[in-house]
Amino acid sequence: MAQKEEAAGAAGAAAAAEPAAPTSQNGEDVENLDDPEKLKELIELPPFEIVTGERLPVNYFKFQFRNVEYSSGRNKTFLCYVVETQAKGGQVQATRGYLEDEHATNHAEEAFFNTILPSFDPALRYNVTWYVSSSPCAACADRILRTLGKTKNLRLLILVGRLFMWEEPEVQAALRKLKEAGCRLRIMKPQDFEYVWQNFVEQEEGESKAFEPWGDIQENFLYYEEKLADILK
């Protein structure tokens, strides 16, 4: 069912047994790309690192955030974030951006706490919203739990496009623990994908292109919403 591909193990063995078409670090079939410059950019994308920025490329969003049931080739996590900090006087400051990872190194969820919010000011309140291509693995859920446990002035809302390995008991237990710790978990609705498109995806200068939902976006949202509800009940 709905699972990310891991970047080792059986996948490596299968690749050795049967040559596969070249793909970029982003999981795309590079033979189907017509733009030579884009092809060069994708092939040369440095592997195994955390990438940060304000807006992600359009093709990354369309491939990585698509809420498909079978997520073949999507071996990264893309995390778009909004961090609102509120002082005692009521002043609110907001920052936003995105992270992407390779699964051979720190996952995006852990990288967020290592690079974006490595420390918390006890005099401030933090309201953090994540829009993530897929839900946390068990290890990342544990990191989130530890951070929430020691940071009482942090509120975290996680909206995910897909559920990662949701049939695994370990993953289900981790998601339930997140809920019990006060972390709010939601499946991204079509409106949430549109919000990410408008606020986190590169647009041509001076022109904002309207979000075009894929055909099964609502159907897949309902599919994952039902699965998450069953896990968390």
Across the range 188-209, mean pLDDT stands at 86
Known catalytic residue: 109?
A: yes
Identified catalytic residue from 28, 100, 102, 109: 109
- Write down the pLDDT at residue 103: 52
Sign of CA dihedral 6, 139, 164, 105: negative
CA distance 111 to 117: 9
The encoded tokens of residue 158 equal 């996680």
Instruction: Yes or no: say if 108 and 101 are a contact pair by the CB < 8 Å rule.
Output: yes
Around Cβ 196, how many Cβ atoms within 10 Å? 22
**pLDDT tens digits for range 207-223:** 668 899 998 999 999 99
Which numeric CATH code is attached to 50-203+211-232? Answer: 3.40.140.10
Residue 163, φ and ψ in degrees, nearest 5: -100, 130
CA distance 220 to 78: 19
Residue 133 to residues 87, 91, 118, 192, Cα–Cα distance (Å)? 31, 31, 22, 12
Share the mean pLDDT of the chain: 79
Domain spans, the chain: 50-203+211-232
Using the predicted structure, report yes or no on whether residue 228 has a pLDDT greater than 70.
Answer: yes
Beta bridge partners of 93: 85
CA distance 117 to 95: 11
**Numbers of helices and strands, H then E, in the chain:** 8, 6
Using the predicted structure, report yes or no on whether residue 113 has a pLDDT greater than 50.
Answer: yes
**pLDDT tens digits for range 78-93:** 999 999 999 888 889 9
Give Dmax over CA atoms of the chain in angstroms.
Answer: 63
**pLDDT tens digits for range 31-79:** 444 554 444 444 344 444 555 667 888 888 888 899 888 766 566 889 9
- Write down the pLDDT at residue 167: 87
CA distance 33 to 150: 47
CA distance 185 to 159: 6
pTM comes to 0.75
Beta bridge partners of 29: 23
The encoded tokens of residue 147 equal 């951070």
